[in-house]
Amino acid sequence: MQTQVKAPQVNEIHKAGKVRRMIPGMLLAGGLGYLAICLADFSPYLDALVVGLVLGMLFRLCFGNREACNPGFVLTGTLLMQIGLILYGVNLNFTRLFHMGWQVPLLIVALQGVVISVSLVVARKLRMDEKTGEGC
């Protein structure tokens, strides 16, 4: 009989309390990301982002949900993944981004914070449910 695996929630970042609880998940996600980059270098048809997503899904399928890694997975799976997808959408990568100067990454993080804050304020003004986004 299979047990249901509870997906990590964004709120678990706040429950973690300390950065050291996030380290195992961040290291594992970083290792899988590095492996994805190495594997993508073997073929011009493979993209590191797609290979990384597939590796992450295979890891979870083979090894299940690791409670010790959840806080780090939540951080990398939310914030870092969103930033990566945004950069991927505009055909940038982190190397190019940091060669533009330290101001550009800082501006991206600040703008993302502003967009999230404005979205939360608008959602509260419209009395929308925080979990489902319903109830306009």
What's the token pair of residue 103?
Answer: 């101001």
Most confident of 40-49, 65-74, 125-134: 40-49
pTM flag (> 0.75)? no
pLDDT category at 132 given cuts 50, 70, 90 is low
Q: Is the pLDDT of residue 59 over 80?
A: yes
Lowest mean pLDDT among 2-11, 28-37, 73-82, 100-109: 2-11
- Closest alpha carbon to 112 in 79, 88, 89, 73: 79
Tell me the average pLDDT across 28-57: 86
Give the model's pLDDT for residue 35: 93
Which band of pLDDT confidence, cut at 50, 70 and 90, is reported for residue 16? Answer: very low
Q: What is the mean pLDDT of residues 108-128?
A: 86
pLDDT higher than 90, residue 75: no
